[in-house]
Amino acid sequence: MLTVRVGRSPPNGCFALLLLFASACSSKGAASDTGAGGGDLASGEVSCTTDPRVDNYVAGLVKKGKLFSFRLDDSAPAPPAKGANTFVLQIADATGAPADVALSVDPQMPDHGHGTSILPTVTFDADSQSFTIAPLYLFMPGVWRIELTAHSQTETAVDSADFFFCIEG
């Protein structure tokens, strides 16, 4: 299958003919041929570690919404990787107290325009005031956006935050 891009050229001025997944040019944030450690990846593999959207995974990573803060306490595996993942997170209100919310999750590959076929389940543990998302199935390499949406239990408040992770492979 041959794909030809017609129309305005990309911002960096290079033109490309794409043959399956091959590209004749590169730009900032595009796939490179080196992994996170700078070594060569196997033929056909991509790396998105230099994409400016990607979050650097650390336990306790916080994203602030307008009303709530979303703290990713743990990921298994850590950092997130290709395949089934489990996230544990907490959501706090503006005072730092646990927020009384319901949580939904939408994993998407923004560059591909699709999500995942295995829908994650969100469970809440009242003792630890934490949410567990599993399985968070990130089945292919590239940038994944994990959109978290908190729906207030007592008001009509809705807030969201996005975590972006590079899944290599």
Domain presence at residue 138? yes
Domain presence at residue 84? yes
Omega cis (within 30) before 79: yes
Show the domain range for 121: 61-167
- The SS3 assignment for 35 reads coil
pLDDT at 8 over 90: no
**At 77, which CATH number?**
2.60.40.1220
**N-terminal to C-terminal alpha carbon distance within the chain:** 23
Domain presence at residue 136? yes
Question: What pLDDT is recorded for position 64?
Answer: 97
Domain presence at residue 110? yes
- Nearest Cα to 129, choosing from 93, 79, 162? 93
pLDDT at 52 over 90: yes
Q: How many domains does the chain have?
A: 1
- Report the predicted TM-score, pTM, of the whole model to 2 decimal places: 0.74
Domain presence at residue 27? no
Task: Note the pLDDT tens digit of each residue in 11-25.
Answer: 333 333 222 333 333
Domain presence at residue 15? no
Counting residues of the chain whose pLDDT is more than 90, the rounded percentage is 67
- For the four alpha carbons of 91, 127, 78 and 146, in that order, the dihedral sign comes to negative
Burial class (CB in 10 A: 0-12, 13-18, 19+), 101: buried
- More confident call, 144 vs 43: 144
- Nearest Cα to 4, choosing from 13, 12, 16, 14? 16
**DSSP, residue by residue, 104-167:** EEEEEETTTTEE-SS--EEEEETTTTEEEEEEEEE-SSEEEEEEEEEEESSSS-EEEEEEEEEE
- The Cα–Cα gap between 99 and 96 comes to 8
Domain presence at residue 28? no
Question: What pLDDT is recorded for position 153?
Answer: 81
Question: What pLDDT is recorded for position 39?
Answer: 44
Domain presence at residue 91? yes
Give 91's strand partners: 70
Task: Note the pLDDT tens digit of each residue in 59-91.
Answer: 999 999 999 999 999 999 999 999 999 999 999
